[in-house]
């Protein structure tokens, strides 16, 4: 399995991080995954990921940044 | 995995029309305030004229309270996990009560008609009480999850402040209309009502929202943890102590508490300015600049209240009121509207699976920038009219231009949003 595609959307004003995440998800090939880096938990994104059949694993890093691993279900 | 958003209710995000009706009605009261200044040009001569009381309530209830309650319907489920069970019905009833109340109350003040005052207060009381009960029920039912920020707690404290301000306001109307209010000197009762409304309701709400919105939209570092942890509870405790001291006529304690409260308000404004100075944003946009002006106006208004004046002239409290109400809360509210409304339009389209345009296309920055420049000019004109009341009609014209422009900008976003909806979903008020 290949390494996740890194999408660093920290330091951007909403909804730019949201848009970057959606674009990356739209380009995601079968078996691929995305590691999304953000300043905060992207609650609105989770609903869309659930609706569109993606699994996601969020976690808060020690430096306060949020990592979300997104994979096709 | 899913369920990684404990306690947060995006699945229950209220329909866009729930907050939107408040946002689109609020500027009409700003326009009415401008008209009042044209008709009753000298009303800024003192804080006690009937016209000034009408003007203050047009702005404080018709504009500010309206936008704040509308925003809360959207914010409570998202940041506090408090999901209103029937957000659209709550929005409809609160909106009707608040608007009839604001109209009755201001007409009652302006025309000296106790019946209008009592009728307006009844509608306003019912509308706000309905909202508070709905929010309280939802808060009781909300899942008890630990939140990372202090915003949910501070929103609850702000709602408590609104309750106190409402009760004090209703008592004042009973006194003015029927001579049956609380047994307090009128000036004491008015100061209590105004301070709870401005500081423990509007101030706490502004701070609670800022803890989240300023870092998010203005790309600043997070507020200092100790500030977000202690600011709102400290203000509430100080305000309670000040109120008791004022009612009990313990003047030294009341004066000390008053200085502490002014210090707390100024501290919030100054720290927000410092946060903005540390923003990673390369070019400040219109909303950023407007928020900075609002914080400067809040700090200046607080300073006017804190320092001894060179004379006992009536215009000092009027100037402080203009700086705090129009410059501070009015400016901050407009600045937040320009972030929140396009973002909500974008979010609702995206969540509906519709390709949404960029938020800058939903509301180009140049439109917001021009309107906010008019806001700054209106503030300057109002201050000039506070010093020279015959300038009131000029300030009135500026207020009308400011709020018409705001209304047009908000309608622009709504039109763009509607243009992207599928034809069957064109209704602004889905059932």
Cα separation, B53 vs B48, in Å, equals 7
Residue B209 has a CB neighbour count (10 Å cut-off) of 23
Tokens of B240: 């309670």
Residues of chain A with C-beta less than 8 angstroms from the C-beta of B215: 39
Report, as an integer, the average pLDDT of B1-16: 52
* Residue, of B249 and B7, whose pLDDT is higher: B249
Alpha-carbon distance B71 to B259, whole Å?
Answer: 31
Residues B57-74: what's their mean pLDDT? 96
Across chain B, mean pLDDT equals 91
The pLDDT value given to residue B146: 56
What the block records as the tokens of B195 is 């301070």
Residues of A in contact with B280 (CB under 8 A): 11
Query: Which residues have CB under 8 Å from A28's CB, separation 6+?
Result: A5, A34, A70, A72
pLDDT in tens, B297-308: 999 999 999 876
Query: Based on C-alpha coordinates, what's the Rg of chain B?
Result: 21
Place B254 in a pLDDT band, splitting at 50, 70 and 90: very high
The pLDDT value given to residue B387? 93
Q: Which residues of B touch A (CB under 8 A)?
A: 1-2, 4-5, 8, 10-11, 78, 215-217, 219, 222, 280-281, 343, 346-347, 350-351, 353, 358-359
Q: What mean pLDDT comes out for the span B151-173? A: 96
Which chain A residue has its CA at the smallest distance from B5's CA?
A: A43
B336, B213 contact by CB (below 8 A) = yes
Q: pLDDT category, A73, cuts 50, 70, 90? A: confident
All structural domains of chain B: 10-425 (1.20.210.10)
For residue A62, the model assigns a pLDDT of 86
Q: What is the C-alpha to C-alpha distance for residues B71 and B101, in angstroms, rounded to an integer?
A: 19
The band of B181, judged by pLDDT with boundaries at 50, 70 and 90, is: confident
Rounded distance between C-alpha atoms, residue B264 and residue B271, angstroms: 10
Candidate from B10, B280, B359 with C-beta closest to A44: B10
Higher pLDDT, A22 or B428: A22
Residue B430 pLDDT > 70:
no
* Per-residue pLDDT at B223 exceeds 70: yes
Q: Provide the pLDDT confidence category of residue A64 given band limits of 50, 70 and 90.
A: confident
Contacts of residue B119, Cβ cutoff 8 Å, sequence gap at least 6: B104, B108
| DSSP letters spanning B186-235 | HHHHHHHHHHIIIIIIIIHHHHHHHHHHHHHHH--PPPPHHHHHHHHHHH
Q: Which helix (DSSP H) or strand (DSSP E) does residue B281 occupy? A: none
Sign of CA dihedral A12, A15, A21, A27: negative
Q: Find the helix or strand (DSSP H, E) in which B335 lies.
A: helix B331-351
Q: What is the predicted pLDDT for the residue at B78?
A: 75
Mean pLDDT of B93-116: 97
Which pLDDT band holds residue B75 (cuts at 50, 70, 90)?
confident
Q: What are the structural domains, with CATH classification, of chain A?
A: 5-72 (3.30.110.40)
User: Residues 6 or more apart from B398 whose CB is under 8 A from it?
Assistant: B34, B374, B377, B378, B381, B382
pLDDT band per the 50, 70, 90 thresholds, residue B29: very high
**Residue A40 in contact with residue A13, Cβ under 8 Å?**
no
Q: What is the pLDDT of residue A69?
A: 96
Does B35 score more than 70 pLDDT? yes
d(CA B341, CA B246): 40
**CA B408 from centre of chain:** 20
pTM: 0.90
pLDDT value at residue B12: 55
Query: What band does B95 get if pLDDT is binned at 50, 70 and 90?
Result: very high
Lowest-confidence range among A47-56, B91-100, B389-398?
A47-56
CA atoms within 13 A on the CB side of B123: 21
Tell me the nearest-neighbour CA distance from B208 into chain A, angstroms.
17
Q: Which two tokens stand for residue B236?
A: 């509430």
At residue B6, the pLDDT reads 36
């Amino acid at each position: 399995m290949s390494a996740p595609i890194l999408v660093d959307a920290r330091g951007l004003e909403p909804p730019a991080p949201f848009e970057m995440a959606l674009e990356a998800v739209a380009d995601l090939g079968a078996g691929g995954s995305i590691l999304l880096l953000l300043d905060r938990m992207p609650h609105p994104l989770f609903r869309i990921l659930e609706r569109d059949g993606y699994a996601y694993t969020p976690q808060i890093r020690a430096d306060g940044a949020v990592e979300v691993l997104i994979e096709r279900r | 995995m899913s369920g990684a958003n404990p306690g947060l209710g995006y699945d229950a995000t209220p329909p866009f029309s729930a907050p939107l009706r408040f946002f689109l009605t609020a500027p009409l009261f700003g326009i009415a305030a401008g008209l009042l200044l044209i008709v009753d040009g000298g009303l800024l001569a003192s804080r006690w004229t009937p016209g000034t009381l009408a003007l203050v309530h047009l702005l404080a209830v018709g504009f500010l309270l309206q936008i704040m309650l509308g925003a809360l319907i959207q914010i409570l489920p998202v940041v506090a996990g408090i999901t209103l069970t029937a957000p659209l019905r709550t929005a409809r009833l609160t909106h009707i009560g608040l608007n009839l109340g604001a109209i009755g109350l201001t007409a009652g003040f302006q025309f000296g008609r106790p019946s209008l005052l009592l009728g307006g207060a009844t509608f306003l009381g019912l509308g706000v009480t309905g909202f508070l009960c709905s929010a309280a029920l939802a808060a009781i039912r909300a899942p008890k999850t630990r939140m990372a920020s202090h915003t949910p707690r501070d929103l609850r404290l702000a709602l408590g402040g609104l309750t106190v301000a409402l009760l004090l306001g209703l008592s004042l109307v009973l006194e003015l209309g029927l001579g049956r209010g609380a047994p307090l000197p009128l000036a004491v009762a008015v100061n209590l009502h105004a301070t709870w409304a401005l500081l423990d309701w509007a101030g706490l709400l502004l701070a609670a929202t800022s803890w989240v919105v300023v870092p998010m939209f203005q790309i600043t570092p997070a507020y200092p943890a100790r500030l977000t942890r202690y600011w709102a509870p400290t203000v509430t405790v100080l305000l309670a102590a000040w109120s008791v001291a004022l009612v009990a006529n313990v003047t030294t304690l009341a004066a000390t508490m008053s200085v502490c409260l002014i210090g707390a308000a100024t501290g919030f404004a100054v720290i927000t300015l410092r946060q903005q100075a540390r923003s990673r944003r390369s070019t400040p946009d219109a909303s950023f600049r407007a928020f900075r002006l609002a914080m400067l106006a809040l700090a200046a208004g607080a300073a006017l209240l804190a320092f001894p004046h060179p004379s006992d002239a009536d215009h000092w409290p009027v100037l402080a009121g203009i700086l705090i109400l129009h410059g501070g809360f009015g400016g901050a509210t407009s600045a937040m509207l320009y972030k929140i409304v396009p973002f909500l339009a974008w979010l609702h389209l995206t969540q509906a699976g519709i390709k949404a345009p960029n938020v800058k296309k939903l509301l180009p920055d140049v439109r917001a920038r021009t309107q906010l420049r008019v806001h700054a000019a209106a503030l300057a004109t109002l201050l000039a009219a506070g010093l020279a009341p015959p300038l009131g009609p000029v300030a009135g014209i500026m207020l009308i231009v400011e709020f018409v422009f705001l209304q047009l900008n908000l309608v622009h976003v709504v039109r763009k949003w509607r243009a992207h909806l599928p034809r069957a979903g064109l209704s602004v008020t889905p059932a």
